[in-house]
Structure 1
Amino acid sequence: MFTGMLGSDIRSMNTHGKITMPQRRFVVACLSLLALTAGAASGEAAPTPSTSAVTDGQHDFDWEIGTWRSHVRVLAEPLSESPDEWLGFEGTSVVSPLMDGRSNVVEFDVRGPAGRIEALNLRLYEPQADRWSLTFVNLRDGLLAPAVYGGFHDGVGEFYGDDQLDGRPIEVRFRIVRQGPDKARFEQAFSDDGGQTWETNWIVVDKRI
């Protein structure tokens, strides 16, 4: 599922206007994937990482491959003094593997009274750090949100990163909890006090189709 879906995305579907360092890494990663694919098609052997660099972490998302029915709740005005208003959406999430599971992409399409959200999420595994980066792409404007980084421990995935909301810096936490082989819960939360307190603003329950 997704991270980087800010409350401001519901109002303006993301306001990032310049290419940040995480975005450059995202673009470079995409180009690298294309280069490796082209090399394989031409018969050239792709570089093989050392055995010590490859860990089981690269299979963290294997369970999610497939098509899911997504039930979404989004807080309309996160980290504000406004009364809580939750917006509802329903649709599908399609998770497809790339490069033998070392990366994957989520195609996300949900609708509700507030409109439609079409997006992609690219997950890339970093074997040297044994962690994943999750980068959200809103198809409404084609802009990238800063990535969050982390992995799974005891069956729960936690990913952290930095972003901005209405011009002020915030921290982002994205959490994934499996609730059986065919159900999972995704939560995003923001903090504007250095991680002392968190406000959840994005809740998705996926059920496998």
Structure 2
Amino acid sequence: MKILTALAAFVALTGSASASVADGQGDFDWELGTWQTDVRVLADPLSETPDEWLTFSGTSVVRPLLDKRANVVELKVAGPAGKIEGLNMRLYEPQAKRWSLTFVNIRDGLLTPSVYGGFRDGVGEFYGDDQLGGRPIKVRFLINRVGPYQARFEQAFSQDGGASWETNWIAVDRRR
């Protein structure tokens, strides 16, 4: 009887495997592995200059951490404008049933403020606050799984509190 009581207490504390999948912890399981990545980046977001898009190509490698309660995306892409190397740290927050996504730019060694959210009807939506050129902005990050072998990621900024958005980052990943 003590074993059953201990097992029940353990399940109550940690949750069952099916509960962790149902609450969102498994939202990124489909993305684990290596991807061919094509990226378009708006050269000067939220500016008056005409839209100039820079293109890059390379790989994204997604690795699980801590029994899939976290994962890391390692991005390495290059193009005519140079290269982008960075990490995206994703951490699941079970109490809130949401993910935080924090980007690391290897060039300047800085962490960006996190965006928070999760998946609803197959689309990941994540929102946060940041700054651009010293002024406060809102950030939106969307993830659309196009099928088992392709996904689309979009980042957009808003300078009017979220009333309007300007997309400034589009990445299309294809599974290798």
**TM-score, structure 2 length as denominator?**
0.89
SS in 2 for 1:179: strand
Check 1:66–1:73 CA distance in 2 against 1; reply closer, same or farther (3 A cut).
same
Q: Does 54-63 or 114-123 show the bigger shift?
A: 54-63
Structure 1, residues 175-207: CA drift from partner, whole Å, max 9, x if none?
A: 000000000000000000010000000000000
Q: Which runs of 4+ in 1 moved over 6 A?
A: none
Q: Which has the higher strand share?
A: 2
* Aligned equivalent of 2:146, options 179, 185, 198: 179
Alpha-carbon separation, structure 2, partners of 1:101 and 1:140: 27
Structure 1, residues 108-155: CA drift from partner, whole Å, max 9, x if none?
A: 000011111110110000000000000000111211000000000000
Q: State the identity as a percent.
A: 73
Offset at residue 55 of structure 1 (A): 5.3
Contact map agreement 2:39 2:56 (CA 8 A) in 1? yes
1:61 aligns with 2:25: no
**TM-score, structure 1 length as denominator?**
0.75
Alignment partner, residue 110 of structure 2: 143
* Aligned equivalent of 1:51, options 7, 10, 15: 15
1:79 aligns with 2:43: no
Q: Point out the structure with max Rg over C-alpha.
A: 2
Alpha-carbon separation, structure 2, partners of 1:96 and 1:149: 20
* Aligned equivalent of 1:122, options 68, 76, 89: 89
Contact map agreement 1:55 1:130 (CA 8 A) in 2? no
Offset at residue 49 of structure 1 (A): 4.0
SS in 1 for 2:25: helix
Number of equivalent positions: 162
Offset at residue 84 of structure 1 (A): 0.4
1:104 aligns with 2:71: yes
Contact map agreement 1:156 1:175 (CA 8 A) in 2? yes
Alignment partner, residue 172 of structure 2: 205
Segments of structure 2 that go 5 or more residues without pairing to the other structure are: 1-11
The amino acid that maps onto 2:57 is E
Alignment partner, residue 123 of structure 2: 156
Check 1:109–1:193 CA distance in 2 against 1; reply closer, same or farther (3 A cut).
same
SS in 2 for 1:200: strand
- Aligned-residue RMSD, C-alpha: 1.4
The amino acid that maps onto 1:119 is G
